[in-house]
Structure formats: C-alpha cells, structure tokens
Amino acid sequence: MVTIIMPCYNRSEFIIKALTNIQNQTYKEIEVIIVDDGSNDNTEQLIEKWRETEKAFEIRYFYQKNQGAAAARQNGLAHASGEIVAFFDSDDLWQPDYLLSLRKALIDFNLDWVYCAVERRLLEDDSLISASSFEKKGFRGAATRLEDGLFQLNVNNAIEESISNGIHMGFQNTLFRREIFDKIGIPNFRIGEDRLMALCLLKSKFQGGFLEKVLVSVYEHRDNTTSSGTSNYNKIKFTYVNLIKSYQNYSNYVALSAEEEKLLNKKIAGYYFWLLGYNAPSRVEKISFMIKGLWMQPSSLPMWKTFLATMFYIK
C-alpha cells in the first residue's frame, strides 16, 4: 500500500481538485493522510463532505497549529501505515500513472526512493512555464541508465551535483520507502527542505533513481511560498534569504566533508551575489549583497568585474 500525505493550509480552493486527482490514479491501493497546518477557511468541511460521498480510499484528517509544510509532513508520517510513502502538494497535480510508474521503478530495481520530472504551469490560465525540470541534463553524469527513461543515481557524483546544481527532487514528485524515515527526519525548514532531504538521502547511502517522464504539474500562483517563475524582487529576496539560512543550518542535519563545505559556500556566495545582489533594485542593496558574496568567494573574477562595474557605473 502507498500512504499519501497531504499537508494543507487554507486550501479550500484546491482541496476537492486534489482529492479528485488522487482518486484518478491508476494505482488504487492507497490511504490518504491530510495534515491541516492551521487553516482558518472551510478546508475541513470540504474534506468531510468528500469523505461522506466518495468511498474510493481511506482519508484520515489531522489538524495542527501552523508550523509549516515540513512539520505537517513529519506529523503525517507518524500515522502512515503504507510501506511506500508519497507526498501530495494540494495545489499541484499528478498524471494518472504517477503512483503506478514510480512504484514499479522502486520495486523492480530495489530502489529506496525514486522521483520524476515535473512541468511548471501558471495557475490562472494553465499556460506552460517550463516543459520539464530535466531540461538541463548535466546531472545525467551522476546517474546510470537502468532502462529506457529510468536512471539510478551514483551516490558520490550525485552528492556533488545535489550541492552545486540540485538534482530536481522534491517531495511532490518522489516516492519513498517508509523505513527511510526511521533514519532521516524531514528537515524543518519552511523553504529548502526538499534540497536538504535529497542530500541527506544521498549521504545516508539510500539508493535513489529518477524517471525522465513528466508525471507532475507544479502550479505557480500568488500564494506560492517561493520565487520560482516570478520577477518580483521582494519574493526573490524572501526565497533566497531563507534558502541561505537553510544552507547555513545543514550541519545540524548532515555531516559534510571539507570539499562539500566548499561547494556549499560557493553556492551561498552565488546566491548572495548573482540572485540577491545583481537583481536588487537599489544600489545600496546591490552592493551589500555583492560584498557578502565576494567575502565568501574572494577569488571570483566574474564577481569582481561585475562588482566594480556596479560601483562605478550604477548610480
């Protein structure tokens, strides 16, 4: 059986569509655990109405004080009875064969976790933003082909790739064996918990893989926590300041080698300089973030050239 854990917060706009999407999965041996993270809308009433009229699968509902999605997912795990766990984000959608395809890969090749590509769409008109999270395929060098469209991650290479560029794994597009969570807890970050989770899985030597097929649609909308798909600097700033805080707390969750620490510092420096500093609307903020990046990567010539241009040519 697959346990599907769905964290939600004020998701009355999406909850029925989400439950219908789960109902339409071709794999049917499921239970659904909904962890309400402090909603004050009618999410619970809609769930109860669904539960009374639809009998396709078992739903268990739990309410908690607002603590964020990571804490809600961890709470859901405490009630999971399936040997495989999936996490459903209530504003995203799975293709009908999502569970069937990932579960088959997990079992057939004795993997501990497996994920797939996602597409990104704009909620307001369903327009396509990005056709596949695997459009940039540099991480292919960190994996071995198992069969057409399915790859197994090579742990050591994938660790480096995960820190430097990311391996495009998120909770909404991954299936896990339940026993993973006896060893690894979900990082309690509001932003960036999936990035650290991927690294923890790799450092713990859990065998992971990915399907190149797009099986998940991720929707961008005004209530998204992170900045993906937006040019709004305030949202960009919120996202990357909090991501940096998450990266700086990695040592509380996973032991990194000196080389891995170096890669992580380079990543943080790039966020400070190129994403926060370079994109900042004001000169003062631009210079402040750029200096933080340079302090961490003082030998970076591209950073120095851009910084000097900023100092002398931007008023």
pLDDT tens, residue by residue, 22-39: 999 999 999 999 999 999
Three-state DSSP class for residue 22: helix
Task: Tell me if 36 sits within 8 A of 62, measured CB to CB.
Answer: yes
Q: What number of other Cβ atoms are within 10 A of residue 188's Cβ?
A: 17
The gap from C-alpha 268 to its chain's centroid, in whole angstroms, comes to 18
Cite the residue boundaries of each domain of the chain with CATH code 3.90.550.10. Answer: 2-220
Dihedrals φ, ψ of 27, to 5°?
-90, 125
Q: Which fold has domain 2-220?
A: Spore Coat Polysaccharide Biosynthesis Protein SpsA; Chain A (3.90.550)
Dihedrals φ, ψ of 270, to 5°?
-65, -40
In the predicted structure, residue 230 carries a pLDDT above the cut 80: no
Give CA–CA dist 16/5, Å, rounded. Answer: 15
Task: Tell me if 189 sits within 8 A of 249, measured CB to CB.
Answer: yes
Dihedrals φ, ψ of 108, to 5°?
-60, -35
Give CA–CA dist 90/42, Å, rounded. Answer: 15
Task: Tell me if 130 sits within 8 A of 168, measured CB to CB.
Answer: no
Percent of the chain having pLDDT more than 70?
Answer: 94
Give CA–CA dist 166/174, Å, rounded. Answer: 15
pLDDT tens, residue by residue, 255-265: 999 999 999 99
Q: What is the pLDDT of residue 190?
A: 80
Question: Using the 8-state DSSP alphabet, how is residue 207 labeled?
Answer: -
